[in-house]
Amino acid sequence: MKTVAKIFFQGLLVFVPLVGTVALVSWVLITLDSLIPLDVPFAGLGLVLLVIFTLGLLASNVVGRTALGWLERGLESVPLVKIVYRSIKDLLGAFVGDARSFDKPAMVRVSDDVRVFGFVTCDRFEDPRLAGHVAVYLPQSYNFAGNLMIVPEERVEPVDADSAQFMAFIVSGGVARMSAARTAIDSQLPLLRSR
């Protein structure tokens, strides 16, 4: 009975992520296809990709940037729309583009024995009271939320890891694999263990 249960749960570990992924992708494709009232499969996806490419084309030349700047200023002149637009733009910009913020994985020393993983998002403040401090964003596991901590710079160690793997490791509660995580201390650990 134990073997049957083990095999069942192994199957469950394959089935749930697979079906969840297929369901989510299907829902996105169906939603995008509903944007265009045609019986052409993936027409909505094609339209969205075309719009994204066109906006990228506009953003890459002077005239287009000027027009998009007017549109952005218009969106930011409406109070509630400004908050939503700016939040989404900043969040997306944190992961892609020239102003990525989640590209500096770090480990914060909370106490002698406790460390937390996060990303350094700001390493210099204009306010003199914050001199020597950095901002570290701590994503929460199994959640889209996180916390921002302002900590003394000496409590923060950079972690040599791929940002995407690092984020997946944190968000998964440490379950996801993070093969590239190495710090300066890690290179000394074998020496410490051999003593």
Q: Report the amino acid identity of residue 101.
A: S
pLDDT at 180: 54
Q: What would the pLDDT profile of 105-138 be if each residue is shown by its tens digit?
A: 899 999 888 999 998 988 889 998 999 999 998 8
Q: Name the pTM for this structure.
A: 0.54
Where would I find the H helices in 34-140?
A: 43-59, 62-76, 79-95
Specify whether the CB–CB gap between 48 and 32 falls below 8 A: yes
Q: Report domain extents, the chain.
A: 1-66, 105-179
- Say how far apart CA 53 and CA 46 lie, in whole Å: 10
Specify the residue for token string 């075309």: 50
Specify whether the CB–CB gap between 160 and 183 falls below 8 A: yes
pLDDT at 100: 63
Q: What would the pLDDT profile of 21-71 be if each residue is shown by its tens digit?
A: 889 888 888 888 887 777 777 888 888 888 889 888 888 888 888 888 898
